[in-house]
Every structure is written in structure tokens, then in C-alpha cells.
Amino acid sequence: MAAEQNECPICLAQPTEPVETNCAHGYCAKCILTYWETTWHPDACQCPCCRREINLLMPVRTNVRDRETQEKINNYNRMMLNRSIPLTSQVRDGPNILRHIFNEILSTSGLSFCSRLWIVFILLLTLAYLISPIDLLPELILGPIGFIDDIGSFIAAMMYIVILYRQDMGRR
């Protein structure tokens, strides 16, 4: 979890089968799923800590061992995949989700091989563009303004990777 919480904010115990939300709050998988099932919202629930909409549940460190709980997490993520997520939410959630993506790329579980390969390809392509002398807005002519296309292409690549990860989580 982002802050490596020592207790679940719902049950106030050591998290069992911890999951992290898109807003970087950690819970026991069963606690947050029970919370979602008992709220009046038929679709997404709000985070009990910050009241932001939870549109992604990500297992921490390892996959959830209980099959029924894992299936509920997968169903929740599939349901959220079909909803439109505002751009502001995607930008706010990006750093936390990118951290999970890079952890899963380096681990043996999580992302499928094709997803890992595609993400690495996008990162390499973005890096090649950033170090390439060919630019839409050349830095030599425009100075600091020339970095705008580099920053924009980097942000666009990171947002695309976050969208790919959300889709991969929804297909599990």
C-alpha cells in the first residue's frame, strides 16, 4: 500500500489479503467488498477514507488467495471497466496505478506477458521520442517552449499505460 498501513480502516485489524484502491487507500479485500455490497450504490462505492469513487481494486503484493474474494474483485473491476472515468480522476489516480504497473512488470504474477511487452514497448518508444533530435517543436529553435511536445508525449504515454492497466484488471 502507498503508506504501508498497519491496519484496515474498516475493521481496524492487520489487513488480510490487502487491496489498494485507485485513491491509494488500503483495506482488507473482504472488508471493502462487504462495504461495497452493503452500501446503497448498485455500482461504484465511495472510499470510506476520502469519499472518492473507487473505480479499481488492486491486490497488494500477491494475488488474493480466496477464490470467491478474488472473483468478487474481478467482477468489481469488470463492472468499473464499462463506466466512463473523468479525466481528472484518471490524472489523479495515475501515479498510484503506475506504481502498481511497474511492480507487476517486475514480478512474476499479475500482468499477462503480452501486456508487459506492450507497456515496455510504449515506454521504449516514448524514451526514443524524448531523446530523438526530431521533434514537433524543436528545442534548439523554441528553447524551453520546445519541451512542451516532449512533456505532452510523456503524459499521453503514461495515461495510455494507465488505461491499458485498467483494462487488464477488468479482464481478469
Domain limit, last residue, from 52, 83, 114: 83
pLDDT of residue 4: 54
Q: How many domains does the chain have?
A: 2
Arithmetic mean of pLDDT, 135-148: 77
My answer on whether 76 and 111 are in the same domain is no
Confidence of residue 10 (pLDDT cuts 50, 70, 90): very high
Containing structural domain, residue 23: 1-83
My answer on whether 2 and 42 are in the same domain is yes
Domain limit, last residue, from 64, 83, 102: 83
My answer on whether 97 and 171 are in the same domain is yes
Report yes or no: 10 and 84 within 8 Å, Cβ to Cβ: no
What pLDDT, in 10s, does the model give residues 121-134?
A: 888 888 888 888 77
The CATH number linked to 26 is 3.30.40.10
Report yes or no: 84 and 163 within 8 Å, Cβ to Cβ: no
Vertex 101 angle, CA 99 and 105, to 5°? 120
Is residue 116's pLDDT more than 90? Answer: no
